[in-house]
Amino acid sequence: EPLSPNEEALWRAVMRIVKVIPRYLDSDLIRGAGLTASEYTTIMHLSEAPNRELRMADLANATDLSASRMTRLVDDLQSRGLVTKTASSSDARGNVARLTPRGMAKLKSAWPVHLASVRRRFFDNIDAAAVEGVAKALAEVADHLEDTPAEPRLRS
């Protein structure tokens, strides 16, 4: 069954947002804080973790980055003194990334830039009265998608 006009309009708007907003957030963070959006998200997840550390595999999963991309990103953050990477004490095969005090300070200085970007790029363009309903609806979709196993990608 085809989408209704309202469903089609909503779907197309969501797809446009998903495509465009990461570029704006990345650009705003680079310009305002010297971090990419991926770097910001990585140190944010570390800041919220117990002892401000996560296994690299868990960090890659939390940020939706590949293991190799996460390794390169953490190595770069480590070279800048924002994180450390050490062998896991519970599993010598894995590594653990840990946020340093310098990394925490960088996150705190980047947070207002991120907040301003999110407000300017998203919330300033949506009616305040609609936020609760939109948040509830999109959270339900996200919850369903996160609880559903992903289908294998088909190779073309």
Residue range 117-145, pLDDT digits in tens: 999 999 999 999 999 999 999 999 999 99
Quote the pLDDT of residue 88: 79
> Which CB contacts under 8 angstroms, 24+ apart, belong to 140-147?
none
pLDDT tens for 30-42 read: 999 999 999 999 9
Contact 85, 74 (CB under 8 A): yes
How does the average pLDDT of the chain come out, rounded? 93
H-helix or E-strand spanning residue 156: none
Parts of the chain with a pLDDT under 50: none
Q: Which two tokens stand for residue 116?
A: 């301003």
Rounded-to-integer distance, Cα 78 and Cα 18, Å: 29
